[in-house]
Structure 1
Amino acid sequence: MSLQSERYFVVNHSNSTEDRRPISALERVFTSTDENLEVISHLLEKHSMMTLYHLREDILNVRDLKSLNVFRRLSIYKEINSVLLIHIMKSMKSVTLTLWRQISAYYELLKTMECLSLGIMTSVHLTNVEPDQYLLATFQNYHMSMLEHLQTTLQYLHLEKMVDDIRVVEQILDNYQQSNIPALMENNNGMPFTAEDLILYNKELHKQMDQLKIVQLRLWTAVKETVRQDVWSARQTLAVGIFILIVVVLASPVLVLLLRHIVHTIETFARSIDISTQKLMAEKQKSDLLLSRMLPLPVLRRLRAQRTVPAEAFDAVTIFFSDIVGFTNISATSTPMEVINMLNMLYKLFDEKIMQYNVYKVETIGDAYMVVSGLPQRNGNRHASEIADMSLSLMRSLEGAKVPHRPQELLRVRAGVNTGPCVAGVVGTTMPRYCLFGDTINTASRMESTGEPMKIHISYTTKKALDEIGNYEMEPRGRLDVAGKGSMETFWLLGKVGGIQNESPRCLRLHDYDQNLLELIIKS
């Protein structure tokens, strides 16, 4: 506003026809403007201020002002006002919606007053000089810009519902539309209006400027009130935040203690869960161990996954049966504990031996010991050689063995082997067993019962399977009348060329644990 007032005084001073122009009023205006510009001097460039000072000096010292071309040099005021308006818009980055609308209205109002001031300056100049097309176009552009900014200001005032200011702005717009100057400015050929029209219109513009100053003051008061409310709201928010921070700081020791208690409780609970898990895993290992004694491990896995395991047919397996020669007489003349001790010694020896081969111990019934190879996991044609090697190893381990409670009596066994197809599956639910069915099992049992002590009696199918593998020594026994089978050609398995290796190559073993360790786990 100070710059606009100074510009108005400068225009009037430069267009005055008096020989002696009073300069004291101008000096007071310059001083007032400098005081207001001192606050925002950091925003203005030094070049702009020097241009303003040079203009002032020329106006105060030169008597023939028309020679200075003052009108064109007055653009410095517009330049400084533009800097201030841009600063206002840059200051609107972080404001509330209401404050943003009010500042926007204030900005548009300042632009309106700037254009109106420029229009007044131009109209004053037109009354004292010969008009040309440039001056008329400039005069028209100022008024068109003033109307655009004034209409934008009116829109913001409607949003803020400032009724009194809306009424003033609307009245200014109506007065401008009713005047004849807009119609005259549509034709800019020559001078379409007289100097008297400009003087009357200039007075009307001064009146509108005074009204807009009142609107400016009210709008600025509204802006300050909104800022005060926003600051108060921000202070309340800050106070609440400080209060919450104080509460948190005061309560933090209690929270830390509670957190430590919770962490300790969780750690205790986690340790108890870990101990329980270890105990559970130990019990599970015991149960798995016992179940693996009843069922093959692959079958046990499928049983857990499917709950039921269908019976499975195998095209070729080899079955081994053995029993103790004279076991009935030994049992009749021995105590039960002596019989159990003898069987335990024998079966422990057999169990340790068969662990070295790809075989599965099916069951023991009394003195009978049954082993199979080729199921539940198929091993190609190696089932016959696995059983043959195991049988030779078992017979060799019993050479010179005696009955524990009868040192003078040798412990001898018969062994029978047969190869052929069979069906295997899990039978029962309370105490499920993995059982084998088929004529191959019956024939293997007949090979054992018709054999001789410390010899391995094999069928023709087993002999044929071993011939395909090779390196086994066999001799024919001749034809033999077998109960339930008729006449059969059988053979004795004598040995293996090159001897028997301590451990045969094999696929996955059923359970590769040390026997003593298993007993300790079960007993614990």
Structure 2
Amino acid sequence: MILKHFQLLTERQNTKESVYFSLKVGDVVHTLQNERDVMSLYVSVHDDPAIERLLIEAYKLTDDALLRLPSWVTVNFPSKFRSKESFITSLTEMRNQTESLTYKEVTRQFADDIGVFIDWMMNAVKEERDSDIWAELVAFHMLINGKECIGVQLSLGAYFFTHGGLDLKALLWYKANHDLGETFLGMFESYSAVAFKSRLDHIDIELESRMQVMQQKIIENTTEVYSTEEGMIWVENMTSYINQLNDVVRALADYITMRTNEEIFNHRLNVTVDVTVLVITMVVACLVSFVIYKISKSIDRVKKCLQEKTMHLEKEQKRTESLLSQLVPAKIAKRMQESIVEPEYFQSVTVMFADISNFNTFMSRSTPNELLELVNDVFDVFEKQLEKRNVSKLGSTGNILMVACGLHQKHTKRHTEDIANLALDLLDRVQQIQVKQAFGEKVKLKIGISTGAVIAGVIEGKLPRYCLFGETVVEAQLLLDTCLPLRIHISETTYSQLSSKKMYLIKERDDIPKKNGSVQKKTYWLCGNLNSTVLQIDLDVNNSLV
């Protein structure tokens, strides 16, 4: 609750700052509107000393309002708004070019600049949408927009009453601002009863009626009398009306500030109450905690003793689990801790044996330390590749690795693909191992793969082993034994599984080895995967995509 009240307090303080900033921006907008109106009249009549004096006075009012602006919202476009200094420089350049400007150029340039300042003010409404005074904030900015439309009408009307008419483009521009201004002012009154009352208090009805008569002449684009004096009358009436609208702006801003201050006071009071309750609660909690501390002292001693024993047991359990997970697959290890693991029959499993074919050559050319270092590098590659896949490591004997897929892994229907991709990656990665010059050649793997039914179970003993039995295992071992270096030797069942995928390069083996004088089953070389960037085995595999 205290955080909520503190957040509301912060929001209301931000609202107050936003209203203050909007009011100061409104002062800048008002002075820019006044400068635009006088400058439009000046460029319409030229060389009128009285109007020139008014223009110089308008310059000073605008400069003072800009200097009083508490901060600046930096925007990159237009570039003049990057800083207050760059805007003042741009405004000064425009003032120096007054003699060469037309009333349309003056009106358009000021309208664009004032539009940017009004956008700054509108952002405050967006940020305070959930506030209780949101309706007054919307009315405030509707009034600012309506006042700007009146200002554009003033500039265009000054030319009308000094020259007797407007061209079609200027007339359409005037009508658009006239209609839009009426809309903004009408919406301003409807949003807030306070806004409606403020307008009744500050707007002179008689002045508004005179202004409407003159506005109608401009809309009809007809006047019998036009002169500098008529232009001055129009400017004076419209300026008075805009000043009265500005009084409404200030009255509404004062009301918003008052409401905001009330809300800030209430939220500060709530925060103070919340903090007081929190302090009392903390004092009581400390007293209760002291009593509990005395009681729990003896309990802590017993707890510490139990924790030490528990930590010792957990450490031993983790050591046991770690050792067991090295001997059998993780899921089997978990099941062994919970109950006896019964042997299982798997209809389709892919088994792979991998061997370093030139291991004996390395033995004859290296020291024991060098050989062990090489084997460690090879098995490090094996382990990293196994971690990436749903493949179970079933053991290793010397330089031979045995893995299987399709036992307890997810997506078991893809076990043949997983083993095939593993074999291709192993063949590629192992060849990249940097060997010592004394070895004379790179590591050459040979791999045998077979797919079929197996029986799996745990062989109990001092070191339990998870073993596979069946013809599939024997066949995979035989494929390894008859494999050539840097080759992946697969069975016919594995070939059948992969052939349906249409993305592997496979070639039938021509020189099928014989066993006991009899011809063996067909076997195949797995040469590559079209979807992989790893090394493709260099065989004649034209027309061998399956």
User: TM-score, normalised to structure 1's length?
Assistant: 0.44
- Larger CA Rg, structure 1 vs 2: 1
User: TM-score, normalised to structure 2's length?
Assistant: 0.42
